[in-house]
Chains A and B, each alone.
Chain A
Amino acid sequence: MNQHTSIKAATGWRRWVYTTNHKDIGTLYLWFSLIMFFTGGLMAMIIRAELFQPGLQLVEPNFFNQMTTVHGLIMVFGAVMPAFTGLANWMVPLMIGAPDMALPRMNNWSFWILPFAFLILLSSLFMPGGGPNFGWTFYAPLSTTYSNDNTAFFVFAIHIMGISSIMGAINVIVTITNMRAPGMTWMKLPMFVWTMLITAFLLIMVMPVLAGTVTMVLTDKYFGTSFFDASGGGDPVMFQHLFWFFGHPEVYIMILPAFGIISTIIPTFSRKKLFGYHSMVYATVSIAFLSFIVWAHHMFTTGMPLAGELFFMYSTMIISVPTGVKVFNWIATLWRGSITFEVPMLFALAFIVLFTIGGMSGLMLAITPADFQYHDTYFVVAHFHYVLVTGAVFSIMAATYYWIPKWTGNMFHEGLAKTHFWLSLVSVNILFFPMHFVGLAGMPRRIPDYALQFADFNALISIGGFAFGLSQILFVVVIVKCIRGGKKAKANVWEDAEGLEWEVPSPAPLHTFSTAPTIK
């Protein structure tokens, strides 16, 4: 790996632009994700400010729609997915005893095209006509015939994000397949590595389908094809089938790595091995498989024949079985452990409870007759924010607190971090829990203004939203303080933590495992 010698020489901005080192690229991904988290978060604040009271106060409905759309796109493709890729970059080689990722130069590319994708997407917000305003799900024909002229920017941004994700995924698969230290058999892989591997497979299976779908949107809008236009023999409902064929596995792309993180953290602070490692692996594989046969549960109201509705209802309900197994295994791991409550553990425990709540509202949504009432209301918004914010985002925060001493060599400020946790926990529930109620009471999603009976809950939700948003500033403070200094961290930061990453010194030197470690 001769390119490593050249990196050592590079300093300043060159170090970051030319880097092929998995740790540097991991760091870049994580910073990028944090910036995007705040960008998307700012949009959420605008949305919540507008919805604080009935009536239109701050923004035009068109701008509101752009905010909901871009908030979704940024959080999914800019915050959550790059965060997991960043964690994988940093931790997978350390966990499997590899010197670096298998394809370091491709690794550099897959990160550095990402900022351009988001620059293109965000710049369209400032162009005449505005950015995408058709929801992150960009249903045709709202996104084709009836969208503004800047839709091409949206399409190209998605293309670039897709290429970046596919390259990242290929890298993860090749690394895990070929670069494991001798003795690191498949069934000895840490859970996080397993979940990243399966996630990477999901990515290379569905991102190309998304790329195909946005290409069809592009040709329908600009080149006169009619994939989604009934007058030319197309069908707008087909768009939704294509989109959700990508979209449902995408949901698992955002939650499987979270499962891996929680399965890593819970044993450490329970001082006990993960309960049911094998069933955890099988459960992950079966969730990934099932994710391909449930897509149409997002589309019950589009008008499906009874047989289709029943099939997708049953298959969706079945997903709760392997997911349930995971939750039970975590609790069994806690059971008769020797539990302590360090900050990563607090986030992991919050994850278990709140993700389970999100899972249960998911089960309710699977019941087709009830879904007719829940669909496209705030009940759905509550559901997927429980899964993605208190699920995916909380797991990323847990992972950050868990591994940041390894990354920086310093312990973080525990008091501030705990404050961050408790503020986030309380505010996130004030933010998302009442959404269940307004949804059930009949408030549709993606509306800039609402009827008077929803006013009280919406004010409460907005207050929770602002509090959650402000709390995240503390997160940045803790991270920056930790980078600048603090109590020195040992090699094995957390007593009894298992894994190869704890065998290298803290901070992890730029090059680790140049000679492969031996696995017991």
Chain B
Amino acid sequence: MNNKKLTIKLIAFALAMLLFGFSLVPLYGLLCEVTGINGKIIGASEKNTNIRTSTQTSEQVVKLQILTHNQGPIPIQIKTDKIEIYANVGQEYLISFEATNTGSKDIVIQAVPSVSPGLTAKYLHKIECFCFAQQAIKKGETVNLSLNFYIDELIDPKYKQMSLSYAIFDISDDIKPEKWHQLFPENIKIAKVSK
């Protein structure tokens, strides 16, 4: 092989490795799902489209802690009356939250769920969750948020405790003006000027 050919091949190889570097991003998502890193699964913040086939419930009980945690300084207070529930495996539960904006601005939040132990993440199925969508909360307003879930029958019986934690992020800065208009029709100007 002459120098030029080999050089071109090696450059192509280096570029392929660059692509590989970027392709590690989706691969990592896959890795998380398989191994339970960070207790997150692909599309944890999207609606689950799989329709549930079995509705068996069992005697097996998992103590589930449901926590919310503001990610840094956000004037949002989230209250729920059920921090801990003893959930029968297979049974559906509805948890409701009250979120209050105590700040002086309208805010859009995104909740990001994380489950511990990480390997149990794939057995916690959310049928409906406020984390599936961005939540717009006007200043001073209180909104109701809900979570509807069940724990899969396939979960290993050795897991008797789980924690589900929602990290609440303020994503107001990332909202485009058009979107902002839809979310807060009456006060577009104030919101955008302040950003």
> Measuring CB to CB, which residues of chain A are less than 8 angstroms from any residue of chain B?
102-103, 106, 166, 169-170, 173-174, 177-178, 204-213, 216, 224, 227, 230-233, 235, 237-238, 241-242, 245, 303-305, 307-308
B38 touches A237 (CB 8 A): yes
A305 touches B2 (CB 8 A): no
Closest to A179 in B: B3
The total of interchain contacts (Cβ-Cβ below 8 angstroms) comes to 97
B22 touches A307 (CB 8 A): no
| Alpha-carbon gap, A518 to B147, bound state (A) | 78
Chain A residues contacting B13 (CB-CB under 8 Å) are: 204
**Is B18 interfacial (CB 8 A cutoff)?**
yes
| Alpha-carbon gap, A103 to B10, bound state (A) | 13
| Alpha-carbon gap, A224 to B25, bound state (A) | 16
Jot down 24 A-B pairs with beta carbons below 8 A, ordered by A. A170-B10, A174-B3, A178-B2, A204-B10, A208-B17, A209-B24, A211-B18, A212-B24, A213-B21, A230-B167, A230-B169, A231-B71, A231-B171, A231-B174, A232-B171, A233-B45, A235-B32, A238-B25, A238-B28, A241-B24, A241-B28, A245-B24, A303-B38, A305-B35
B167 touches A208 (CB 8 A): no
B37 touches A303 (CB 8 A): yes
| Alpha-carbon gap, A304 to B116, bound state (A) | 11
- Distance to closest chain A CB from B45 (angstroms): 6
| Alpha-carbon gap, A211 to B35, bound state (A) | 27
**Is B48 interfacial (CB 8 A cutoff)?**
no
A230's partner among B17, B35, B112 (CB-CB below 8 A) is B112
- Distance to closest chain A CB from B169 (angstroms): 3
- Distance to closest chain A CB from B29 (angstroms): 8
A204 touches B7 (CB 8 A): no
| Alpha-carbon gap, A40 to B126, bound state (A) | 52
| Alpha-carbon gap, A351 to B143, bound state (A) | 67
B7's partner among A170, A208, A237 (CB-CB below 8 A) is A170
**Contact A207-B25, Cβ < 8 Å, known A178-B2, A305-B119:** no
B14 touches A304 (CB 8 A): no
- List 18 extra interface pairs beyond A208-B17, A231-B171, A305-B118, CB under 8 A: A173-B6, A174-B7, A177-B1, A177-B6, A178-B2, A178-B3, A204-B17, A209-B24, A211-B18, A211-B21, A213-B21, A230-B169, A231-B169, A235-B32, A237-B37, A303-B118, A304-B37, A308-B37
Chain B residues contacting A241 (CB-CB under 8 Å) are: 24, 28, 31
- Distance to closest chain B CB from A170 (angstroms): 5
Interface size, B (range) = 35 or more
| Alpha-carbon gap, A211 to B15, bound state (A) | 10
**Is B138 interfacial (CB 8 A cutoff)?**
no
A308 touches B35 (CB 8 A): yes
B24 touches A204 (CB 8 A): no
B28 touches A103 (CB 8 A): no
Chain B residues contacting A207 (CB-CB under 8 Å) are: 14, 17
Chain A residues contacting B71 (CB-CB under 8 Å) are: 230-231
> Which 6 A-B residue pairs are closest in the complex by CB-CB distance?
A212-B21, A231-B169, A208-B18, A208-B17, A209-B21, A170-B10
| Alpha-carbon gap, A210 to B18, bound state (A) | 8
Closest to A210 in B: B21
**Is B90 interfacial (CB 8 A cutoff)?**
no
Chain B residues contacting A213 (CB-CB under 8 Å) are: 21
Chain A residues contacting B21 (CB-CB under 8 Å) are: 208-213, 242
- Distance to closest chain A CB from B38 (angstroms): 6
| Alpha-carbon gap, A170 to B13, bound state (A) | 10
- Distance to closest chain A CB from B48 (angstroms): 16
| Alpha-carbon gap, A339 to B11, bound state (A) | 45
Chain A residues contacting B112 (CB-CB under 8 Å) are: 230-231, 233
- Distance to closest chain B CB from A62 (angstroms): 21
- Distance to closest chain B CB from A457 (angstroms): 37
- Distance to closest chain B CB from A187 (angstroms): 20
A174 touches B6 (CB 8 A): yes
- Distance to closest chain A CB from B32 (angstroms): 8
Chain A residues contacting B7 (CB-CB under 8 Å) are: 102-103, 106, 170, 174
A208 touches B14 (CB 8 A): yes
Chain A residues contacting B28 (CB-CB under 8 Å) are: 235, 238, 241-242
Chain B residues contacting A210 (CB-CB under 8 Å) are: 21
**Is B123 interfacial (CB 8 A cutoff)?**
no
Q: Can you list, as one digit per residue, whether each of B23-45 has a CB less than 8 Å from chain A (1) or not (0)?
A: 01100100110011110100001
- Distance to closest chain B CB from A107 (angstroms): 12
